[in-house]
Amino acid sequence: MSRLLRRLISPVPAATVQRDTVRLRLEDVEIEVLRVRDPRARRIKLSVDERGARLTLPPRASLVMGERFLEQHRDWLGLQLRIYQGHGLPAALQPGVEGVLPLRGELLPLRWQEGRYARLEIDEHGACVQWPSRGGDATLRRLLREFYEAQTRADVGRWLPKYLPGLPRAPSRLRLKVMSSQWGSLAPDGSMALDLALVLGRPAAFEYVLVHELCHLIQANHSPAFWHEVEQRFPDWRAQRDYFQLEGRRLKAMLRQLL
């Protein structure tokens, strides 16, 4: 076999992803930004999530270009980090400490009572936790997750019947997840996934996401025909989309803090 033929059929070694950190001063605080040189990247990108800030560089971008990009987006970076670090969010819940419970766009007063089992209920005074003496952080996180999942399923169960007429079929399954960027998705098999943070925001916005995903049973795309289906069923969808633009990151950060 010739050398040229061997080169054509042999697998090409994958380029490695290189990582290091760069330090940046924001106001009176110095932070570390993860710098990643990714051979698959096509442009310089700055992103923020619960792990911190990340600067992605394509192969041909210089370190100076990356640092200049960071400097140009300094204000944006500071804002996003404050959101993800809990700035402007209710205080994290602690067993036995009164606080507030986010639910459906409101902050319900939260009180604690001694109980044999961990249980969270809504009443006319707000929210009440029955709490065992040996309850810990893991018990609280599990209790909150189960509570929010039950509340989410109750909302879907209340809204879904009025939208089923006119659909080719009902969703085959509903999964509740903690999503980093999406609010919902519909798989080819008809199973629907919804972000658990939806139940923290205003109900109209949650209902819009449900309608959005249901319309994908008719149009598996975002074509004008798809948006026509959404418009017919939920004329106020634009206002709810704008709501997520303003409040979406805060809702997702709030859920991460709770769970």
Q: What is residue 204's three-state secondary structure? A: helix
Give percent above pLDDT 90 in the chain.
Answer: 61
Residue 2 is predicted with a pLDDT of 54
pLDDT confidence tier of residue 3, bands split at 50, 70 and 90:
low
Q: Which residue's structure tokens are 């040229």?
A: 4
- pLDDT tens column, 45-80: 888 776 678 899 999 999 999 999 998 888 888 877
Asked if residue 201 lies in contact with residue 184, where contact means CB atoms within 8 angstroms, the answer is: no
Give percent above pLDDT 70 in the chain.
Answer: 91
Q: Please name every residue paired with 46 in a beta bridge, in sequence order, or none if there are none.
A: 55
CA 134 to CA 33: how far, in whole Å?
Answer: 40
Mean of pLDDT values over 171-189: 93
User: What is the CB-side half-sphere exposure of residue 58 using CA atoms within 13 A?
Assistant: 8
**Residue 178, phi-psi category: left (phi > 0), alpha (psi -120 to 50), beta (remainder):** beta
- pLDDT tens column, 198-225: 999 999 999 999 999 999 999 999 999 9
Residue 5 is predicted with a pLDDT of 43
Query: pTM for the whole thing?
Result: 0.72
E-assigned strands of 90-240? 99-103, 106-114, 119-123, 126-131, 173-177, 184-186, 191-195
Total residue count of the chain as it appears in this document: 259
Of 241, 252, 233, 231, residue with least CA distance to 159: 233
Count the helices and strands in the chain (H runs, E runs).
Answer: 7, 11
Q: For residue 13, how far is the Cα from the chain centroid?
A: 35
Q: Which residue's structure tokens are 């993860």?
A: 34
